[in-house]
């Protein structure tokens, strides 16, 4: 398994990985305030993209007709 595949599995997507990595970096006590500000902005933008992707995926699932009786919920 490549590093990319491992991260995709762990974080669900590259966008989720960016959110997680930014959050982990922000836990450090020795961050320069400018870097922390940039990391918060990156995390916020990535979180917005992740939320939009999840909403889009949910709409796609709802609009797709079930392919078998097991798919009906």
Q: In this predicted model, what pLDDT tens digit does every residue of 18-73 receive, in sequence order?
A: 999 999 999 999 999 999 999 999 999 999 999 999 899 899 999 977 676 665 55
Task: State the residue for tokens 């990985």.
Answer: 17
Residue 31 to residue 19: CA distance in whole angstroms: 17
Two structure tokens written together for 62: 């709802």
- Number of helices (H) and strands (E) in the chain: give both, helices first: 3, 0
Two structure tokens written together for 7: 């991260």
pTM above 0.75?
A: no
Residue 69: predicted pLDDT: 61
Residues 7, 26, 47, CA angle at the centre, nearest 5°?
55
Residue 9 to residue 12: CA distance in whole angstroms: 5
């Amino acid at each position: 398994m490549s590093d990319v595949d491992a991260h995709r599995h762990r974080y669900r997507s590259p966008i989720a990985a960016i959110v997680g990595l930014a959050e982990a970096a922000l836990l450090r006590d020795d961050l320069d305030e400018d870097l922390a500000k940039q990391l918060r902005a990156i995390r916020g933008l990535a979180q917005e993209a992740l939320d939009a992707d999840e909403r889009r995926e949910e709409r796609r699932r709802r609009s797709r007709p079930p392919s078998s009786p097991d798919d009906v919920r």
